[in-house]
Amino acid sequence: MNLSNLSFPNEEILDQTLNYKGKQYTIHEHLSEIEKYYQHKTIFLKENNDLFFARQCVLVEGPADKYAIEVLVDFDLGGTSVIPCYGKDKLFYYQMICRTFGIPYFTLFDLDDDKPDDEPNKTIIEASHNNDYYHFASSLENHFGITTDKYKASKTMLAIDNTQEVKGELLEAFEKISLFLKECSGAVKE
């Protein structure tokens, strides 16, 4: 792959429009909001800078999702950064950064018992590239039977540690991530 004629951010991508909360904005306009609303201090964490050094990334809502992927998948994650975005509303901005800088990305999120065309689910789905996303009907925590907010993350991580077999929605999500990674590795080869 010849990278010499690529420049970032990609001007063509910056001019693309996406729906966000019912209105059309260019990606450039979305990215301009980062500084305007201090999102560079509240959304983008320095711990997630490995995003820029990955061949591809998987964007997830939080640390439990990242932990599940890193502990339970049975395929190679080499060259892949799993980025916890710390909330569904923040996923969209990470998607815009990946898209603008040409970083292949897969998005994993929860519908939280809402419909796919309810906001912010609709925005995340529309910002997903090449249908590279998966959503849990409810949440990752519910997949493991965790339904209370008290110690939810700790209980989920303990359930992940005790998982003997990956099945159901989690298996579907991992299969789709695996397919995404295979497609990415095929695109990298010359």
pTM: 0.77
Residue 31 near residue 96, CB atoms below 8 Å: yes
Q: How many CB atoms lie within 10 A of CB 39?
A: 14
Residue 40 pLDDT greater than 60, yes or no? no
Phi, psi of 68 (to 5 degrees): -60, -45
What Cα–Cα distance (Å) separates residue 85 from each residue in 45, 51, 108? 9, 11, 10
pLDDT tier at 189, thresholds 50, 70, 90: very low
Helices and strands, counts by H and E, the chain: 9, 6
Q: How far apart are CA 132 and CA 62, in angstroms?
A: 18
Residue 43 pLDDT greater than 80, yes or no? no
Predicted local confidence at residue 1, as pLDDT: 42
Tokens representing residue 132 in the block: 């590279």
Q: Half-sphere exposure of residue 107, counting CA atoms within 13 Å on the CB side?
A: 32
Torsion sign (Cα): 172, 174, 177, 178: negative
Q: Of 190 and 176, which is predicted with more confidence?
A: 176
Q: What is the pLDDT of residues 110-167, one digit of tens each?
A: 999 999 999 999 999 999 988 899 999 999 999 999 988 888 888 999 999 999 999 9
Q: What is the pLDDT of residues 28-38, one digit of tens each?
A: 776 666 666 55
Q: What is the pLDDT of residues 55-103, one digit of tens each?
A: 899 999 999 999 999 999 999 998 899 999 988 888 998 898 898 888 9
In eight-state DSSP terms, residue 4 is T
Predicted local confidence at residue 9, as pLDDT: 67
